[in-house]
Amino acid sequence: MKSGDLVKYVGSAPFYKGRIGVVCSLRDDNVLVYYAGAEQLERAYLGVLPQSYGKAGLHPMGLSELEVIYQR
């Protein structure tokens, strides 16, 4: 799995069940995934840039919760 890959959520959280997203960042066992339309919902991660306000739309996920469906 790497940045730019298309992934499907296969974990147990009902909100994410079956959602498709794009991997934006990968560090150790943590993955930040962008889910279109879910920018301010559930696990959305606050932006790290000082000029960022509100939610950035990145959702922290574990590697075991994701399945790669298209590799970039």
Distance CA 27, CA 13 (A): 21
Surface-to-core class of residue 9, CB atoms within 10 Å of its CB (0-12 exposed, 13-18 middle, 19+ buried): buried
Structural domain contains residue 34: yes
Q: Which residue has the higher pLDDT, 66 or 58?
A: 66
pLDDT of 58 reads 87
pLDDT of 53 reads 47
User: Tell me: the pLDDT tens digits for 37-47?
Assistant: 887 788 776 66
Structural domain contains residue 1: no
Q: Residues 55-72: what's their mean pLDDT?
A: 90
- The reported pTM is 0.82
Q: Which domain holds residue 55?
A: 6-70
Total domain count, the chain: 1
Q: Where are the alpha helices (DSSP H) in 1-72?
A: none
Structural domain contains residue 14: yes
